[in-house]
Amino acid sequence: MFDRLFKRRGSGQETARAVNPEYVIHVTLDELINLRLQARHLSLHSKLPAMHVMSGNHVSHFKGRGMDYMESRIYQAGDDIRNMDWRVTARTGQPHIKLFQEERQRPVMIMLDYNPGMFFASRGRFKSVVASQAAALLAWSALNNGDRVGGLIINHSHTEIADKVGKKGILALLHAIEKHSNPIEYLQTQAVSQPQESERFSTGLQRLVRLSRPGSLVFIFSDFYQLDNASIKQLSLLKQHCDCVLICLSDPLETTPPPANRYAVSNGKQQAVINTANHQQVEHYQHWFGSHRQQLRNAAHKLTLPLIDLSTAQPPLDNLRKYFSSRTRGKPSR
């Protein structure tokens, strides 16, 4: 059934995208399915293949229950007390648990934050489109590795996609991405009373902590303008049991203001005017964006989380390949 669906949807998408502006602001299921071909050039494999045919395609670098002892660390809330390392606990006076390296199917969780600011681009494609394409590439690569795939989508609500093995899991995620990444539908279905964007983002991360199994590889797509102390706390909780990668979407306009002129801008509810002929406004503009980016880098550094930048002006595959190739060589990007 999946192959038949793929064949029906797999023709003429690049041509249609080139002539139809809709393909710039909204990703389609056709396109997401076609990205499985490009995903062959993106590998989430670790260096060492697993030996057992039923154990997935790789030895997990992630910490969880298994056969081979790796190390012991201080007990954290939620740890399985069956893995308590009593010898180290007695020696140090602090409770420690044993961590193991296991061969298994690795859960890959993908969180997509479709806040209003993600429906924007000054060139190329909307941030939401680039994020959707990159998420699909990672999902297809995970499928090629034999991993489980699931996700969480944030827009006017929270949509959870439980991790599953095989094509059903991929299709469930891609359908959800197509549905919730549509900016027109977002504006039409947005409730009159909505929580603050920062609150929605931190609540989404809280759900992600609950949804992600220990040892999962978690990718978080956002422009991170809603990053605050509450969301940083949730990221800290998430990284205790999962490997987490932050993927930040940006547009060239955010780093370089447009030529001197007056520009009308809107967030869908309010309108304002940016006057880039005013030197003072330009300085304020650059300072605001620079402060946001530095805050994100500081948070990633403090939490020791990898940070990948994706631009609306570039296809996402090259940057993703660059990160994972350096990761394989033991030089993670930040």
Q: Which residues pair with 111 in a beta bridge?
A: 152, 220
Exposure string for 281-308, b = 16+ CB within 10 A, e = fewer: ebeebeeebeebeeebeebbeeeebbbb
Q: Which residues pair with 98 in a beta bridge?
A: 72
Q: Is the pLDDT of residue 332 over 60?
A: no
Q: Which CATH entry fits the domain spanning 2-44+105-250+313-328: 1.10.3470, 3.50.50, 3.80.10, 3.40.50?
A: 3.40.50
For 235-267, what is each residue's pLDDT tens digit?
999 999 899 999 999 999 888 888 888 888 776
For 2-61, what is each residue's pLDDT tens digit?
343 344 444 444 433 443 444 478 899 999 999 999 998 888 764 433 333 333 444 444
Q: Going along the chain, which residue ranges are E strands? A: 68-74, 96-101, 107-113, 148-154, 158-165, 217-222, 243-250, 262-266, 271-275, 307-311
Query: If we measure between CA atoms, which residue out of 61, 59, 57, 83 comes closest to residue 72?
Result: 83
Q: Going along 94-203, which residue ranges are E strands? A: 96-101, 107-113, 148-154, 158-165
Q: What is the pLDDT of residue 43?
A: 83
Q: Is the pLDDT of residue 152 over 60?
A: yes
Rounded-to-integer distance, Cα 153 and Cα 161, Å:
8
All CATH 3.40.50 domain ranges in the chain, comma separated: 2-44+105-250+313-328
- The larger pLDDT score, comparing residue 153 to residue 281, is at 153
Q: Which residues pair with 262 in a beta bridge?
A: 275
The mean pLDDT value of the chain amounts to 80
CB-based contact 99:121 (threshold 8 Å): no
Identify the DSSP state of 74: E
Using a pLDDT cut of 90, give the percent of the chain over it.
43
